Amino acid sequence: MLGRTTLSAVERKDRRFAIFAATPAGLTIAALFLYPLVYAFVLSLYELNDKRPEATRVVGLANYVRLLGDDAFLASLARTGVFCLFTVFGGVAFAVGMGVLLNQRFRGRAVARVLLLVPWAVPPVVNGIMWKLIFDGTYGVANSILMTLGIVDRPVQWLAVPDLTLGVLIFAEVWKLTPFLALMTIASLQSIPANIYRAASIDGAGSWQRFWRMTLPNLRGTIMFLLIVQSMWSIKVFDSIYVLTGGSGGPAGATTTVNFLAYLTTFSYLDRGYGASMSIAIMVIVILVAAFWVLLLGRRDKETRR
Amino acid sequence: MNDTAGPRRRVDVGRVAHRVAVALLVVYLVVPFLWMVVYSVYPSENLRSSPMSFAPTDLTLAKYGELFGDSGFVRSMTNSVVVGVATTVICMLLGSLAAYSISRFRFRGSQTLLLAMMTVQAIPAIVLAVPLFVLMRDFGLYDSLTGLVLTYAAFILPLVIWMMVSFFDSIPVNLERAARIDGCSHLGVLRRVVIPLSGPGFAATAIFAFITAWSDFFLAKILTGPNAETLPVRTAAFQGLFATDYTAAATAGVITALPVLALALVAQRWIVQGITEGAVKG
């Protein structure tokens, strides 16, 4: 069959197949992802509040200008910053720690590694329910343990005190998300050739030195990847806030991150146009953060290679 | 990373510390979930008494029975299963076709397309929430399983394509050439040669797709009402009952988590292999 057709005919056939094969997926993504994205951008140029539908009008970029002077938005940004500080830096450091811990040889290593999949597989809503049970102010086991140990003498109202609620949220998110990052760390650790460690320890390098001088530099690419992934997850966190705070982002707005504020603006205050501009701003922030990590760690990578 | 290097000392403090750390880690990973399971099998009164009472005679599956007898809850379970399976099938079908096309034919713009697949991961679902809602309403797909499946497919396809391209790239093309010369069509090559060869990667990707669809709360909350409501939406509503009924919340949580948890543990080999081969590069 191939022998008689000319090369260009085969190529043309290949091209036709390539386009045919990519079309269904492309159409689905275009219709339900790209079109809504454009729609959202157009929406962000409108003043459109479902509480006052008669006042709908085009306002251009005014919604974006409004964002810059909106204290609630700026406060939620700061809150997201704090949340990310803990979940991204703390989370990735913790993930690398877990990865290194589970990369050593010991009996039961395979089982311990598989257990890293448990938090990953627990749906975010269930994760929220789980920690709400544990940190319940009246009957939660966290209080029982702390009181038995004599650390506190009265039940702590974990989910009624603003800072503590944010703390519980951070704890819950780290539990859910970092073990998967640890698995990725292990995958990358295994690609570091073992004999460079052997050589180093013959040269008298201690395990601490080997970690800083060899393991970490070899993990640079992976750590960049983890920072990007975790930053995206952290900025987009929603489900556990919803469940832990009963859909309020409280107490007193303490867990209202930008993403949650965009949700409240759109679906509680029904300020659709403004909510759309806020969501687009979040999208831009996510992309900027990812680009920041790539530039920062990507450039250093080149320097070390030189 | 290497107590292979160097001889073992008699009482190795580091070794003991390591084992203790591993034990603590295992407890940390598993106990919170197990605690919820414990909550689901005791009456609320036992958990509210001080100290809590865990008498084996009080063990009960009554709440599970109650939830399985609740037609609304059962409908949300069926919905979740249908949506999860349908989304996975569509994603794997359309995704592997598209990935094969990107991986093998390198048509103009295929690299840009691949980059776009990664960029869309950065887009928060909240951006698309209102437009999707309007779109679904206009097409009469609001609160329907079809609407939810289509939406999930669009959200999950980019990741599926991204993963499948990296698996397909690692398969040598020579085998396909041979099959082509033997008269196999492109589709035949994909079905008989490429997908079987990328087996573990294919399985891992399918599991990712299923778990993502099953676990979603946000889109389901916005795009469904009482008819097409999925398990996470139903379960999230239980947090409002906390003051009165702990056991119901814990039980709904366990029911929502158990299928995906079991799936992840059964398929752990593929998932870990998938991560090792595909996700992390560099």
Going from the first residue of chain A to its last (306 residues), give the mean pLDDT of each consecutive group of 10, the final group possibly shorter: 58 80 88 90 91 87 94 96 95 95 90 93 95 88 89 90 95 96 90 80 79 85 88 92 90 94 94 94 91 75 48
Of the candidate CATH numbers 1.10.3720.10, 3.40.190.290, 3.40.50.150, 3.40.50.300, the domain formed by A65-305 belongs to 1.10.3720.10
Instruction: Summarize pLDDT for B96-136 with one digit per residue, the tens.
Output: 999 888 888 776 677 777 777 777 777 889 999 999 999 99
Q: How many residues does chain A have?
A: 306
Residue closest to A120 by CA, chosen among A58, A46, A53, A181: A181
Contact B189, B175 (CB under 8 A): no
Q: What's the CA gap between A285 and B257, in Å, rounded? A: 32
Q: Is the peptide bond before B51 cis (omega within 30 degrees of 0)?
A: yes
pLDDT in tens, B127-156: 999 999 999 999 999 999 999 999 999 999
The verdict on B258 and B225 lying in the same domain is: yes
DSSP assignment of A163-183: HHHHHHHHHHHHHHHHHHHHH
Question: In the prediction, which pLDDT does A65 show?
Answer: 94
Residues 241..280 of A with a Cβ closer than 8 Å to B: which? 242-244, 246, 259, 262-263, 266-267, 272, 275-276, 279-280
Mean pLDDT of chain B: 86
B281 close to B236: Cβ distance less than 8 angstroms: no
Q: What is the pLDDT of residue B127?
A: 92
Nearest residue to A57 via CA among A42, A47, A69: A47
Of A259, A40, A28, nearest to B152 by C-alpha is: A28
pLDDT band for B93, please (50, 70, 90 cuts): very high
Phi, psi of A57 (to 5 degrees): -160, 165
Percent of chain B with pLDDT over 90: 50
Q: Which residues of A are less than 8 Å from B129 in CB distance? A: 263, 266-267, 279
Interface subset of B 26-55, CB within 8 angstroms of A: 26, 28-30, 32-33, 35-36, 39, 47-48, 50-52
What is the Cα–Cα distance from A134 to A114, expressed in whole angstroms?
Answer: 24
The neighbour count for residue A231, using CB atoms within 10 Å, is 23
Q: Are A82 and A172 in contact (CB under 8 A)?
A: no
Q: Which residues have CB under 8 Å from B88's CB, separation 6+?
A: B206, B209, B210, B213
Q: What is the ipTM of this complex?
A: 0.89
Instruction: Determine whether the interchain pair A15/B211 forms a contact, defined as Cβ–Cβ distance below 8 Å.
Output: no
Decide if B7 is inside a domain. Answer: no
**What local confidence, expressed as pLDDT, does residue A182 receive?**
95
The pLDDT-based confidence of B5 (bands split at 50, 70, 90) is: very low
Whether residue B3 is contained in a domain is answered as no
pLDDT above 70: percentage of residues in chain B: 91
Residues B136, B55 share a domain:
no
Q: Where residue B201 sits, what CATH number does that domain have?
A: 1.10.3720.10
Q: Rounded to an integer, what distance in angstroms lies between the CA atom of residue A206 and that of residue A15?
A: 57
Total of domains in chain B: 2
Residue B1 falls within a domain, yes or no? no
What amino acid occupies position B238?
A: F
